[in-house]
Amino acid sequence: MNDEMVKELVETTGCDNFLATMLLRFTGGDVFGARRIIEAVPKDIYAVKLKFITQITGYYGACFFCFDRKENKINRFVAVISDDKEIGKIDLQIDWYEFEEQLYSYSKTKKIDGLKVDQLKNRLVSSEFISRVSPVLKPGQPVKNESFNNLIVDELYNVFADTNIAVKFDIEMTDAFKLNKNRDLRSEEAEVGESLNPEDVEKE
């Protein structure tokens, strides 16, 4: 076992150096075997990708967040909201980490409504929302699509006060290692809505 093997395992799985070292010792320096152990970890984190349009007020939005049932909290929230129809073209069928990256990329190059992003964030990371989403996203059970849709629409209504809101979503299962592997998408803990001032972004 050497530093290069540890580095390879960390980069390919998202585990930390300590765990990589321990697993490589356990497997006798077998990187593939160590990787298989990590890949066998249950995927118990919900990666939620969603898009919406408020038909009356004319907003388009896309949002990503993770619901960690073990920690009972919402992590990695990011959203883009504006009157730009291009948001509606963001593909929900791509992998969650590509979807998350697209939202960050959009937020760096386009104008977004930071106030609405903050309002939505505050609602979706709240203990009230977590208590409502927990019965809908339960391990070992199919996602209750209609219940989840209604839950999201209710939260959006409190932000936009629009009586005609259409929502589309896709939910993937992932694990802490995969999340850690893609952590470099966020350079700091500041949320996009707080760190990006729409007036400071040059309009295309």
Label each residue of 131-147 as H, E or C: HHHCCCCCCCCCCCHHH
| pLDDT band at residue 182 under the 50/70/90 scheme | low
CB atoms within 10 A of CB 185: 13
State percent of the chain over pLDDT 90: 55
Averaged pLDDT, 15-43 = 78
Calpha distance 72→169 (Å, rounded)? 21
Averaged pLDDT, 96-114 = 93
Beta carbons within 8 Å of 188's beta carbon, 6+ residues apart:
195
| pLDDT band at residue 117 under the 50/70/90 scheme | very high
- Sheet with 165-174, side-by-side order of all strands: 73-82, 59-68, 45-54, 165-174
pLDDT for the residue 200: 47
Whether the pLDDT of residue 97 is over 80: the answer is yes
Q: Based on the number of CB atoms within 10 Å of its own CB, is 99 exposed (0-12), middle (13-18) or buried (19 or more)? A: buried
CA nearest to 60, candidates 40, 43, 80: 80
Whether the pLDDT of residue 58 is over 80: the answer is yes
More confident residue, 26 or 42: 26
- The pTM score is 0.77
Structure tokens belonging to residue 75:
């992590």
Q: What is the pLDDT of residues 138-174, one digit of tens each?
A: 877 888 899 999 999 999 999 998 889 999 999 999 8
Contact between residue 99 and residue 68 where contact means Cβ atoms under 8 Å apart? no
Calpha distance 82→169 (Å, rounded)? 18
pLDDT for the residue 116: 96
CB atoms within 10 A of CB 129: 18
Whether the pLDDT of residue 192 is over 60: the answer is no
Whether the pLDDT of residue 93 is over 60: the answer is yes
Averaged pLDDT, 70-95 = 93
| pLDDT band at residue 196 under the 50/70/90 scheme | very low
Instruction: Give the start-end residues of each E strand in the chain.
Output: 45-54, 59-68, 73-82, 165-174
pLDDT for the residue 201: 41
Mean residue pLDDT of the chain comes to 84
Residue type, position 37, single letter = I
